[in-house]
Amino acid sequence: MTKAAFIYSQELEKFHYPPEHPFNTIRPKKTRDVLNSMGLLSGDGRSEVAPVPADRLTLKKFHSARYLHALKTASQGRWDSEALNMGIGTSDCPVFEGLYEYAVLATGGTLVAANLLLSGSADAAFNPSGGFHHAHPERASGFCYINDVALACHILAEQSKRVLYVDVDVHHGDGVAYAFYGRCDVMTISFHEDPRILFPGTGFEDEIGTGKGKGYCVNVPLPVGTYDQAYMKAFEEIAIPLMAAYKPDVIVFELGADALAGDPLAHLYLTNNVYADIITHLLRLNKPILMTGGGGYNIDNTVRAWALAWTVLCGADSGNADNPPLGGVMLESTDWQGGFRDRALAVSSQQRDAVMPAVEATIEAIKTNIFPIHGL
């Protein structure tokens, strides 16, 4: 039986980005509520664990003191051009009331999850309030202030764990990739939309790490319109052999749900069945998994995807893609009686012709550049 921890507390509900901002802090609460109402948060080894704010000493393992000070000061309503130069107070990373407390609590949730795995108290943990993969040591970026996932990887690696970081948010997981760009004890694999089209503009297939880290940074850029089969082909041909060769001790999985069809900020065409399949693959490694949230700007679709991900993570998923439920990413339906899985989406031959050759070319480039380093 999997011991799985869902990281949440009502304390998180106090904080909100400005109303016009796409990042909605209500998503974890909604995910929690739907799981709870279906009896999926407790029993069978499942438990709910409250986050505790990350302490400053830990935050300094990734962020500079200068940056943390500016963030805290801004949160109290005072910020200047120096803060702005560090990305604090931009339209992407606005200052809002309690910003510092929120970022530190959300990050604390991911670190609580990491420690549950380290102590053996849990085999799997999900912090839907985590996944701020764009934050840099001294720069807020892409709705992210404190990089909880980079910190978690760092803390796990400090305990001599070989860390596998997998990022399926539609945007490149740049903050994490660059944090470990020169290291071989944290392998980062990011699947994301073509950086020529989407923020943050990095994550090309030839960014593969440097020095000892060469071959341990894997970027899989995907064309507009990428659909389930094309995505899973890339995952199966790239991630699966690399994960097997790398032999991680622990997995950190950033599950931004903005690659789903219908996301207002991106242009991929996935259903949440992809996430379920990927988690199933990750579980086969039989190692502890720390899963976080991330992007996801269609709220209902994101909540359903995260609820599904949790059920797969703790072995409680009963649905399957051959038995389609009533809801679905393109149906705008909130009737989830049939389960959390999206109905399969039709893919036109035109879309297939536009997507598959580009995905195949990317797969070949990565195989050429990275596989030999791992004896593949």
**Residues designated catalytic:** 134
CB of 56 to Zn ion, least distance (A): 27
Least distance from Zn ion to the Cβ atom of residue 205, Å? 19
Q: Which CB atom, from 75 or from 302, has the smaller least distance to Zn ion?
A: 302
Q: Are strands 289-292 and 217-222 parallel, antiparallel or unpaired?
A: unpaired
| SS3 category, 373 | helix
- Which tokens belong to 57? 């000493």
Binding residue for Zn ion, selected from 258, 263, 317, 342, defined by CB under 5 A: 258
**DSSP of 13-71, one letter per residue?**
GG----TTSS--TTHHHHHHHHHHHTT-SSBTTEEEE---PPPHHHHTTTS-HHHHHHH
In the list 171, 304, 341, 343, the residue contacting Zn ion (rule: CB under 5 A) is: 171
What minimum distance in Å lies between the beta carbon of 199 and Zn ion? Answer: 8
Interface with Zn ion, residue 148, by CB under 5 A: no
295 binds Zn ion (CB under 5 A): yes
> Is the Cβ–Cβ distance between 289 and 163 less than 8 Å?
no
Nearer Cβ to Zn ion (53/293): 293
Convert 65-102 to b/e letters by CB count within 10 Å (16 or more is b).
eebbebbbbbbeeebeeebbebbbbeeebbbeeebbeb
The Cα–Cα gap between 308 and 311 comes to 5
Rounded to a whole number of angstroms, the minimum distance from the CB of residue 256 to Zn ion is: 4
Of 188-227, binders to Zn ion (CB under 5 A) are none
Stretch that binds Zn ion, among 9-17, 254-262, 271-279, 318-326 (CB under 5 A): 254-262
Stretch that binds Zn ion, among 26-34, 94-102, 292-300, 327-335 (CB under 5 A): 292-300
At 135 the three-state DSSP class reads coil
Residue 148 beta carbon to Zn ion: minimum distance, rounded to whole angstroms? 14
30 binds Zn ion (CB under 5 A): no
Tokens (6 digits) for 111? 């670190």
| Under 8 Å between Cβ of 240 and 283 | no
Q: State the nearest-atom distance from the C-beta of 152 to Zn ion, in Å.
A: 18
Which residue number places its CB atom closest to Zn ion? 295
Please say whether the beta carbons of 41 and 35 come within 8 A. yes
Q: How far apart are CA 15 and CA 263, in angstroms?
A: 23
Among the listed ranges 88-96, 108-116, 166-174, 353-361, the one in contact with Zn ion (CB under 5 A) is 166-174
Among 123, 148, 167, 169, binds Zn ion (CB under 5 A): 169
Tokens of 173: 């997981």
**Calpha distance 285→186 (Å, rounded):** 16
Please give the residue ranges that form the binding site for Zn ion (CB under 5 A). Answer: 169, 171, 256, 258, 295
